[in-house]
Structure 1
Amino acid sequence: MPSPEAMEEDDDPVVKEIPVFLSKRLADKLFIFQYPMKPAISGYDDAEFLKTAIKPVNQEVMIEVAIDTTDGHFNQKKGEDIAASAEEPVKKDGEEKKPYFENDVMDKIVLKSSRALPNCDNYGIGVYQDGEFHITPLKGFLQLRPDFGYLDKADKRVKDDGKNTGDESEEEEEQAKQVNVSFARKLPDHIIKMKEQSFQTHAKKVSEEQWISCDYKSVKTTQAELTRMEMICNASEDAVNNLNLSKRQYLDSLAPPLKEEQFSKANIQSHTTSLSYIRTLPLLDQVKILMKDAKVMSFVQLRAILSLEHETASILKYLQQVAVLVQGNWVINSELVYPKDTISAHSGVPAELMCRARDYILLSFTEHEFVDRRAISSVVKLPAEEIREIFTNMAKHQPKKGWRLIVLPSKDFNERYPEIAQRQDMFWEAKRKQLREVMEAQNQTPPRQRRKSSRESIPEQKSIEVTSLVR
């Protein structure tokens, strides 16, 4: 025990030590079910589950919950109408399909899940018992919401029936139309790879996995209680060892830091990473991540975010590797926004063309405070969606003036660091010549224009058992 004097000097003394155990008996099997559309005080603990099914690979769950049709608040007439609209017509071969609502009334709802988090490697469930804390790793967070697919099918049938009952005379009078036949060219390997990672491909893989029926065990059953006991480590096991680790090593082993590629993927999926984690990375990675997130930032803003332990010279060195100076502010390099061998999200434009268009837009911003998007489109010849994407990621539109960068122009950096500013001017002069050569080959020479003020600029227009552990 530390002396009383040492306890007084410690602002945050240890008041109690609790043994921590890691239980793995339910690892890769434990999920948290969340019901965003259901109040916490009225969950599904006492509900009657008719059917349950799971897709273990894609982590999807489907549950049929019975509706009490004898309740005084239940609208019998409306329930029958919904059941009738959900019925599908008899097949052509005479085989009748099983009705969605077997009792001719809406007597159930179907809950389908979606992932709340793409990765749960650093999450677990803790149980405190007999002065010990037991942690079980989580497989995933699933949010279950009512599914109304039968209503979508009913609407589609109505539309199809409307088309089939159209005026036959109009069909007879319809004249032949010219049909243009086109042949698809072979796509490059990197574009094929990007399409394999698309949402449509992922949705197809999900639909191909078969549902596996499950036996649901209520939270109040003996089976559920026995399963909860598996979250407690067996104290008699000899495999429990003391950890002779530093605080940092212990935290890293408990919650391993994300690797760079994992961190980039997390950013793409729009999951925020804390600034405290970013500050643990090398300085170059810190500057790159912050600039990719902000797109446009002044040096004063960047310096205020980074730790004071980093020298200004080091920050400037790495900043010039990942960003360019425009109107006294720093803008992330186009190659980091559109990496090599990728395509745009809208029309599948290769990254090389996206970078060239973005560089031309940035070059225009070095010459004008406001830029006309239509004038840019007439030069770079990309689809309107791609042009708008480039502008909206780093600029905003001001009526009757045009687009300007999201950070106002400033002369502060140029005055404080004239050598770097001069070096950036030389970079843009070389970039101007490079773009001119490329566009001259396409008969699209970007004219060099003198600087204009804002007033001179142009205006712009199997069977698996699922057990509930929650009590």
Structure 2
Amino acid sequence: MADDAPAASLPVYLASALPPGARLELFQYPLYARGRPLPVPASAAQRGQRITSRWRPRADRVEMDMPLDMREAVYDQERGAEMGESAARMGTIGAVKQERDAPAPKLDRIRLESAAVPNATRYFVGTVSDGALHLSPLHSVLQLRPSMQHLDVMHELADAERRRDAEEEERARGVVSLNVAVRAESGGAGADVLAAQREAEAERWVDMRWTDDGSAEAQAAHQHLLATSTAPLYSSSEAHGYL
């Protein structure tokens, strides 16, 4: 059928021009509109804010802090102050050490945290240039979603306040509370998961510099995705091996 006719026939080359120690990762943003760049509001750019990111190499975890639009028309100032206080107590997400009597800063950034997507097979990134398809091996795929840590801190603060009120009420009534601790059995799959999580949390963060796809740095990096050799590739596999 005419509709099934191939649109083009392209030679395929395998690129291997990444700098030593570099690796190619794909970031996905499931909660952002497809085909749109990451939003940096004009009001945030005027404040001198930009996207910042950091990385834990062994755990392969990425965090990104993205500026928020803090205009009165779109930003809840009261709620922002509550979340800013939680972020300041947590020591992250735009937190700045304040004097005890000084008001906490408003939350001016949202943090994205990565989660690894298991590799079902080996993936490649394809770049079309000068009528040829250049393939570069992909190290991993990470999905980034907003972190809710500041909300967790808000709930913890509210729970702690309720516990203090309950303890004061019990002391006033002369009630003595008894705490019982249950020791968990060591070993097992759960212990291995907790140990791996503790090891990942203990790893030092490495700061990264975020550049837009239209920058000179991004264009230079794009050149590493093009094959330097156009020698033909020959498959050593038989057709029945992958069908």
Question: Which bin holds the TM-score, normalised by the shorter protein?
Answer: 0.7 to 0.9
1:195 shift after superposition: 5.0
CA RMSD, 1 decimal: 3.8
Alignment pair present for 1:113 and 2:125:
no
Structure 1 residues 41 and 231, CA gap change in structure 2 (3 angstroms): closer
Report the equivalent of 1:79: 80
In the alignment, does 2:239 pair up with 1:248?
Answer: yes
Report whether the alignment pairs 1:216 with 2:210. yes
Q: What residue is the counterpart of 2:55 in the other structure?
A: 54
Contact 1:20 1:134 in 2 (8 A): yes
> Are positions 1:128 and 2:134 aligned together?
no
Q: For residue 122 of structure 1, what is the amino acid of its counterpart?
A: R
Q: TM-score, normalised by structure 1?
A: 0.40
- Say whether 1:153 aligns with 2:153: yes
Given the alignment of the two structures, is residue 234 of structure 1 paired with residue 225 of structure 2, yes or no?
Answer: no
Say if 2:133 is the partner of 1:141. Answer: no
Unaligned runs of 5+ in 1: 1-11, 90-95, 253-275, 277-471
Amino acid at match of 1:24: S
Determine if the alignment matches structure 1 residue 98 to structure 2 residue 89.
Answer: no
What letter corresponds to residue 83 of structure 1 in structure 2?
G
Deviations 1:75-127 (A, max 9, x none): 333323432454439xxxxxx9726xx972221111111112x2365101111
Q: 2:15 is matched with which residue?
A: 23
Q: CA deviation at 1:204?
A: 1.9
2:115, 2:144 within 8 Å by CA — same for their partners in 1? yes
The equivalent position to 1:205 in structure 2, one of 199, 213, 229, is: 199
User: Equivalents in 2 of 1:183, 1:148: separation in Å?
Assistant: 28
Q: How does 1:302-317 map to 2 (within 5 A)?
A: none
State whether residues 45 and 218 of structure 1, in contact with CA within 8 Å, keep that contact through their aligned partners in structure 2. Answer: no
SS in 2 for 1:217: coil
Structure 1 residue matching 2:107: 3-state secondary structure = coil
Are residues 82 and 229 of structure 1, via their aligned partners in 2, closer, same or farther at CA, if it must alter by over 3 Å?
Answer: same
Structure 2: which amino acid aligns with 1:106? L
The 1:129–1:144 alpha-carbon spacing in structure 2 relative to 1, beyond 3 Å, is same
Summarize deviations over 1:204-238 as a string: whole Å, max 9, x none.
22212221111111211100001011100114x7x
Q: What are the within-5 Å matches in structure 2 for residues 154-169 of structure 1?
A: 154-165=154-165, 166=167, 167=169, 169=171
Q: Kindly report which structure 2 residues correspond to 1:283-322, keeping only aligned pairs within 5 A, or say none.
A: none
Q: How big is the shift at 1:67? A: 1.0
Q: Which amino acid aligns with 2:65?
A: E
8 A Cα contact 1:120 1:138, kept in partner: no
* Aligned positions of 1:352-371 closer than 5 A: none
Asked if the contact 1:120/1:141 (under 8 Å) is kept, the reply is: no
Q: Deviations over 1:325-366 (max 9, x none)?
A: xxxxxxxxxxxxxxxxxxxxxxxxxxxxxxxxxxxxxxxxxx
CA contact (8 A) 2:40 2:66 kept: no
* TM-aligned CA deviation for residue 13 of structure 1: 9.3
TM-score normalised to the size of structure 2?
Answer: 0.73
- 1:70 maps to 71
Matched to 1:98, the amino acid is: K
SS in 1 for 2:156: helix
Structure 2 residue 168 is the aligned partner of structure 1 residue 174? no
User: 1:132, CA displacement in angstroms?
Assistant: 1.3
- SS across alignment from 1:29: coil
Q: Which moved more, 1:47-56 or 1:145-154?
A: 47-56
The separation in 1 between residues aligned to 2:106 and 2:147, in whole angstroms, is 17
C-alpha separation between the residues in 2 aligned to 1:156 and 1:19? 58
Report if the CA contact (8 A) 1:114-1:142 is conserved. yes
Does structure 1 conserve the Cα–Cα contact (< 8 Å) formed by 2:40 and 2:51? no
| Higher helix residue share | 1
Distance 2:9 2:146 in 1: 45
Report which of the two has the higher share of strand.
Answer: 2
Task: Tell which structure's C-alpha radius of gyration is larger.
Answer: 1
User: Is the 8 Å Cα contact of residues 15 and 225 (structure 2) preserved in structure 1?
Assistant: yes
- Cα contact 1:121–1:139 (8 A) shared by 2: no
Alpha-carbon distance in structure 1 between the residues aligned to 2:97 and 2:120: 39
Identity of aligned residues (%): 20
Which amino acid counterpart does residue 134 of structure 2 have in structure 1?
H
Distance 1:46 1:181 in 2: 48
Letter in 2 for 1:243: Y
